Amino acid sequence: MLYNIPSHLTGLSDEELNQSRNKHGYNQAAELKKETWYTMLWDILKEPMLLLLIAVSIIYVIVGNYSEALFMLGAIIVVSGISFYQDNRSKKALEALEKLNEPLSTVIRNGKIFQIHTHEIAVDDLIIIEEGKMINADGQIMYSNDFSVNEASLTGESYSVFKSADAEDKEVYSGTLVVSGMAVIKVKKIGRETKLGKIGQSIHEIKEESSPLHTQITKFVKGMAVIGIAVFVLVWGFSYWQTNNLIESLLVGLTLAMSILPEEIPVAFTTFMALGAWKLMKEGIIIKRSSVVETLGSTTVICTDKTGTITENAMQLPLLFDYKSNRSFKAAEFNAPELSELIKYAMWSSEPVPFDPMEITIHDVYKQFTENDQRKDYHMIHEYPLEGKPPMMTHLFEDKSGNRIIAAKGAPEALLEVSNLSKTEKENLRKQIEDFGKQGYRVLGVGKAHFEGNNFPEKQQDYPFEFLGFTIFYDPPKKGIQQVFKQIYDAGIKVKVITGDNADTTNAIAQQAGIINEFPAANGKDIVELSQQELITLSRKTTLFTRMFPQAKLAMVNAMKQDGEVVAMLGDGVNDAPALKSAHIGVAMGNKGTEIAKAAALMVIINDDLGKLITGIAAGRRIYANIKKAIQYII
């Protein structure tokens, strides 16, 4: 591909590359620990309940009861084998979700453009990033053209962010996606020093939580083991005092102690858990450790991200606002004659071959509701890329007869400023923009202009634009999400929304999803200033937590845990990973979820269907009840 790159951007020389590599190393973040088969087996065998079975087997050998010892050894093999088999199956299923190929990156070095493996990126490299590509290092924009990026994986914002070398916000981050245009960035941070890398490293420091029932049973088994040891010592001592026979007294003490140790409990617990994990996998739910299955049934609070978890993470166009008629039209009314001009110019102001989800939607609407599709008849003769504060973009098209189309779109305020509207008209439109924002919508303004000749103005803002109206987008809730949350509430579980998005959008989506909310949303910036007790108080009454960054999400999950709640965290982004790891059970989305989120979570919903969560909760509660019955019977 040919790139129109300024000649002064030549990139690193070989010598500069070596110096950078020696100082900063390679672009490799510290990976999350991946379990091998022997570490998985060791984790299973060092469980207190398995250790109890091993201890019992040794005692049977000592007292000469070899048949019982053989039976207990068989139980150990069966119990550990079931757990190992199920955990290994989950591990392999997760590996199948991971990306198979390492991505390539385009760099400029020694004045030449070529591709390298992403791990070879060095600090101060010049990287070319373009539409549809993932950014693989943190850096600063040196040159750009119509450039926008989706940072939802880091921030939770589902909308594209427009950036340029001249804008205040010229930083780009590893793990984010280029939505439109292209840019040349100078790499500032690589590997574990990037935002993505630091979040990955922070996960190592977070201790995973044991399930409540597992904790209770482990405590019970340990207690019984202590009692058994005490009984053994007392009986051995008393018997030896009476008989003066050391071996006979030892056997009497061990025999009586064995009657106290509940060796059947580990067998029942592990079997129920492994079978539960196996059944859930058949339902499309991967459980990494079978011992956490019952945690779903014990959950008292579900904390969920918004973008990609509650919502589709896809832009829809539910409304169009036509300025001339001063009214909004729903999607079913897009065939109204009044909208033909607005739809037409919204399409012409978009890229001819769109990648941005909003522009793809605009093209689809144009194709569906325009009788005479003129896209093949016109070609672009001039383009003003996305720029300005607030940003806008303008395209000029012409057909063979010289008929010209000049179309612009961008931030609504930008279009209002360049349009021939009165002060009163602009104020009325600003009120409309505010109202749409409160409903969770993303608004873009659309305008048209007329210009003769080819001596085009230097700036697009110099055209005399006529304001046409607004295109009104939003990221809709997933289908059936209301029923999912209704069932969660019916199960007596509280719901908290913890998102990086703004309060207006979050509140609107929460209402549409059926989430009960009676208090104002809390802001992540304010949360970090609160004490632990204040966080606990806030968590009890507040449902919506907005503008939340990873540390704030983690703080709220920890506060709820400290308040005695059993917390399940749902998320799909990099910014959710620390909270996913810290929660009693982290639940990641398998389809749209980031790799770091899936690695941090203990449970992965393969097809992102939250309805599967209800299946998991029901299964967890059923297993919890069965284990309690089994323990009561054993005791």
- What is the pLDDT confidence band of residue 99, given thresholds at 50, 70 and 90? very low
Residue type, 609: D
Give CA–CA dist 468/339, Å, rounded. Answer: 9
User: Which of these, 159, 158, 193, 194, lies nearest to 174 by C-alpha position?
Assistant: 194
Over range 302-324, report the average pLDDT: 90
Give alpha helix (H) positions in 477-610. Answer: 481-490, 503-513, 524-527, 532-541, 550-562, 577-582, 595-600
Token pair of 449 as six digits: 């202009």
* Residue 626 CB-half CA count within 13 A: 17
Phi, psi for 41 (deg, rounded to 5): -65, -40
Q: Provide the percentage of residues in the chain whose pLDDT is more than 90.
A: 41
The Cα 66–Cα 337 span in angstroms is 90
- Which of 247-256, 408-417, 598-607: highest mean pLDDT? 408-417
Instruction: List the beta strands (DSSP E) in 388-488.
Output: 392-398, 404-410, 442-449, 466-474
**Contact in structure between 268 and 627 (CB atoms under 8 Å):** yes
The confidence score (pLDDT) of residue 38 equals 66
Return the pLDDT at 318.
95
Cis preceding-peptide flag for 477 (omega within 30 of 0)? no
Q: Tell me if 549 sits within 8 A of 524, measured CB to CB.
A: yes
pLDDT digits (tens, 9 = 90+) for 581-624: 899 999 988 877 777 788 788 889 988 888 888 888 888 888 77
- 159-215: pLDDT as tens digits: 678 888 877 789 999 988 888 888 999 999 998 899 888 877 776 666 666 666 667
Lookup: tokens for 383 = 């383009």
- Which percentage of the chain shows pLDDT scores above 70? 85
Which residues face 442 on adjacent strands? 473
Residues 6+ apart with CB under 8 A from 205: none
Strand partners, 108: 113, 126
Mean pLDDT score of the chain, rounded to an integer? 84
The predicted model gives 98-103 an average pLDDT of 47
Q: How confident is the model at residue 91 (pLDDT cuts 50, 70, 90)?
A: low
Q: How many CB atoms lie within 10 A of CB 121?
A: 22
pLDDT of residue 428: 94
Contacts of 390 (CB under 8 A, 6+ apart): 410, 411, 413, 414
97 pLDDT band, cuts 50/70/90, is very low
pLDDT at 470: 97
Contacts of 11-18 with C-beta under 8 Å, sequence gap 24+, read: 11/107, 11/108, 11/109, 11/110, 11/111, 11/112, 11/125, 11/126, 12/109, 12/110, 12/122, 12/124, 12/125, 12/126, 13/109, 13/110, 14/109, 14/110, 16/124, 17/109, 17/122, 17/125
First to last CA, the chain: 73
- pLDDT for the residue 148: 85
316-474: CATH architecture: 3-Layer(aba) Sandwich (3.40)
Decide if pLDDT at 521 tops 80.
yes
Q: Is the pLDDT of residue 47 over 60?
A: yes
Q: Does pLDDT of 287 surpass 70?
A: yes
Query: For position 625, what pLDDT does the model report?
Result: 78
Q: What is the mean pLDDT of residues 87-102?
A: 49
**The domain made up of 271-312+479-634 is a member of CATH 3.40.50.1000:** yes
CA–CA dist 173, 24 (Å, integer) = 17
Where is average pLDDT lowest: 136-140, 239-243, 625-629? 625-629
Q: State yes or no: pLDDT of 98 exceeds 80.
A: no
Confidence of residue 63 (pLDDT cuts 50, 70, 90): low
Q: Report d(CA 17, CA 5) in Å as an integer.
A: 20
Q: What is the pLDDT of residue 231?
A: 82
Confidence of residue 102 (pLDDT cuts 50, 70, 90): very low
Ordered by start, the domain boundaries in the chain are 271-312+479-634, 316-474
pLDDT of 88 reads 62
